[in-house]
A and B are shown apart, each in its own frame.
Chain A
Amino acid sequence: MNTMPEDRKVILITGTSKGIGLYLAQHYISKGFQVIGCSRNSVDFSDSLYTHICADISEEQDILEIYKFIRKDIKRLDVLINNAAINPAIVSAALLPYETISQTFRTNVFAPMLFCREAVKLMTRNKFGRIINMGSMASKHEVPGEALYTSTKTALNAYSRVLAKEVAKAGITVNVIAPSAIKTELSGKINPMALQEVLSRNAIAEYGEMNDVSNIIDVLIKEESSAITGQIIYLGGV
């Protein structure tokens, strides 16, 4: 039986096994949210406020199962953070294999679209919802070797801005948070010299911190932030 108090907000975060997603899951547990996380791997912590679902979000069926669980057992969704993404190949666009392109788009673009689609259906019930999609400074800097990752993040920007217009009347906001660079496995794949060069183009030419991300999300998901929507917020002075 679900013993969740009526007023406890429910937040769904994708990609919680490591990196920013893991940090955000623990951050929102500590703030008293009911957190549902997912990733292909499991997590090595447990908490009464946390439910982990092992899922491959590049498969529609896995996403539908997550929502089936939420509809049946949790019955509400207040916040969705589309955090999971991959950046598997930092190579010339001329060398990108089709399967790599396909898998990256399925994970970074199709999955967030499906998560948004199902979230909107649940959120309209309560006439409240906050959707955060994770962008990247890559969309602004357009770095050679990052054509695939950059185009997925830019697609998500455009999608988020249109969705924001469609769902505003339902009390749902949609925003993109685009961190500069934060030390995780994903950013660790980028050549440090190249990353330093890209960072030097920002007002803040250093790595960001995890709490830079949670700080802005904390603001955006507040009930009072109902007028902030359709924004792409770059961190680090991009």
Chain B
Amino acid sequence: MDVLELIYEVIDELNLDLGPSEQLKKDENSVIFGPESTLDSMGLVNLITLIEQRIEEKTGNFIAIADERAMSMQESPFKTVKTLKEYIEVLLNEYNA
């Protein structure tokens, strides 16, 4: 599964509901959480939820992205599209192992 492609599909879906100044760029460096992000906290919830749904649709497995490890990591995986992509890849690899 191409995780980056999946995240971009979700960003497209999210952007449909966001105003012109809130649009999230399909870029690995897009910030998804914190003051520099165009997403507010519910926007981040939406992003994560839609990704979890897509993964469940594609694989039949529900994988919680906002898990305990994510919360306790020094470097939050919810910082940029890139960190999120890398974290999801780790989760998927572990799930499939």
Whether A associates with B in a native complex is yes
- A interface residues, Cβ below 8 angstroms from B: 64, 68, 71, 120-121, 124-125, 166-167, 169-170
Measured in the bound complex, the distance between the Cα atoms of B63 and A64 in whole Å is: 11
Contacts of B56 in A (CB 8 A): 71
Q: Is the CB of A166 within 8 A of B53?
A: no
- B interface residues, Cβ below 8 angstroms from A: 40-42, 45-46, 49, 52-53, 56, 62
Q: Is the CB of A68 within 8 A of B45?
A: no
- Using CB atoms, name the residue of chain B closest to A67: B62
CB distance from A51 to the nearest CB of B (A): 19
* A169 touching B62 in the complex, CB below 8 Å, given contacts A71-B56, A121-B49, A124-B49: no
Contacts of A170 in B (CB 8 A): 42, 45
Q: Is the CB of A124 within 8 A of B46?
A: yes
Chain B binding surface, main DSSP class: helix
Contacts of A71 in B (CB 8 A): 53, 56
A-B contact pairs, 16 of them (CB 8 A): A64-B62, A68-B62, A71-B56, A121-B49, A121-B52, A124-B45, A124-B46, A124-B49, A125-B49, A166-B41, A166-B42, A167-B42, A169-B40, A169-B42, A170-B42, A170-B45
Contacts of A68 in B (CB 8 A): 62
- Using CB atoms, name the residue of chain A closest to B48: A121
Contacts of A125 in B (CB 8 A): 49
Contacts of B46 in A (CB 8 A): 124
Measured in the bound complex, the distance between the Cα atoms of B40 and A167 in whole Å is: 11
The list of the 7 closest CB pairs from A to B, nearest first, reads A121-B49, A170-B42, A169-B42, A124-B46, A68-B62, A166-B41, A124-B45
Measured in the bound complex, the distance between the Cα atoms of B41 and A77 in whole Å is: 21
Q: Is the CB of A124 within 8 A of B53?
A: no
Measured in the bound complex, the distance between the Cα atoms of B49 and A124 in whole Å is: 9
Measured in the bound complex, the distance between the Cα atoms of B12 and A83 in whole Å is: 38
- Using CB atoms, name the residue of chain A closest to B41: A166
